[in-house]
Chain A
């Protein structure tokens, strides 16, 4: 009996040891040595890197790269160019010397920092993408639109400078396809 208890205690100890090792490995795999949690990149350095990135994005050479890659109409776009300049930015600040992983982590930290400094990161400040609250089957919101100059035979009163969006939806239950657009 005592021998059986000792065996079970030994097995339990072994399992506890394995569990502790497993947890340590998990913690290690989650750790981001350059992430903000670890504060491996000082905040002031991140701001300086963002300023560097901002200048790089506006640099005529970068704009030329954007133009060329977009003109090619291929799978590569301006976003790959931007990723390249972000990698160059972190390397310019001394990160990435120990390999791709460190560079990727530094780029991740740089991207995470951008929303905290929209006054520097104009790509955050001027980003118009947002999820919105409209849902399918919702009533069409009351929106006034400004038409281009009305045609002489328009059904809308001449001189009226706006039209309600709902008034453009056909009364006879045909659908209205709405396309939002701009040059850029």
Chain B
């Protein structure tokens, strides 16, 4: 992921949203260390307050190098981060020139990101505002769904055609250019996401 960010540099911004633990120790523990590097099995209680989730997010950002700023957190994702007093010096940084922002899905506000994006088990998204008009390109009833991993480049081509045919040159609202397919227990497949992001970065609407 970070390699992709470096590859694209300033052609794409990044947002990491820290969501609820899927296998919290007090809910559905599986003691997995598969994606936790050398830090051992994850034993985290569910983060039910904004403060605790921010602490977990800050520790994660530090452990996985999401932000370049230093952190005073002493947590390690193996049980102590919920009570740590992490202080990040900023929520935005850069990775290879890309703007990187880390936010949390606020449990005290009903986890609005999870509610809208259904981001589990594995979901990656590409959001983009358009410079040109043309309205909805595909989807919106044409069968495009969460299983649709097609490269968004086809949409860019369609929009160029619409603009060439007299589409209004007005700013579009941000739209979901790509969302990865849900997977049942499968591990993350970065390629469709990477391809869609490369397409969107190379060919802004």
Contact = CB atoms under 8 A, between A and B. Distances in A.
Contacts of A66: 29-32, 41
A175 interface: yes
Given A67-B31, A183-B77, A136 B173 contact: no
A128 B22 contact: yes
Contacts of A79: 185
Given A146-B106, A173-B131, A178 B15 contact: yes
A9 interface: no
A176 interface: yes
A122 to B, nearest CB: 6
Contacts of B20: 128, 182
Contacts of B204: 172-175
Contact of B116 (A127, A141, A168): A141
Interface in A3-35: none
Contacts of A134: 116-118, 146, 176, 179
A183 B61 contact: no
B14 A176 contact: yes
Q: Which of B113, B130, B184 has the most CB of A within 10 A?
A: B113
A145 B106 contact: yes
A179 B124 contact: yes
Given A58-B29, A148-B103, A181-B17, A135 B146 contact: yes
A149 interface: yes
Interface residues of B, number: 100
B42 A181 contact: no
A71 B41 contact: yes
B167 interface: no
Interface string A122-160: 110011111111111111110111111111101000000
A169 B30 CA distance: 35
Contact of B27 (A126, A169, A174, A182): A126
Given A135-B140, A136-B178, A148-B88, A175 B126 contact: yes
Contacts of B23: 184
A165 interface: yes
Interface residues of A, number: 61
Contacts of B109: 144, 146, 162
Nearest to B53: A146
B114 interface: yes
Interface string B28-44: 11111110100001101
B90 A174 contact: no
A171 interface: yes
Contacts of B205: 173
B50 interface: yes
B13 A150 contact: no
Contact of A182 (B21, B69, B201): B21
Interface of A: 58, 63-64, 66-67, 70-71, 73, 77-79, 122-123, 126-141, 143-152, 154, 162-163, 165-166, 168-184
A-B pairs, 8 with minimum CB distance: A132-B118, A151-B90, A180-B119, A173-B204, A137-B139, A148-B91, A145-B103, A141-B116
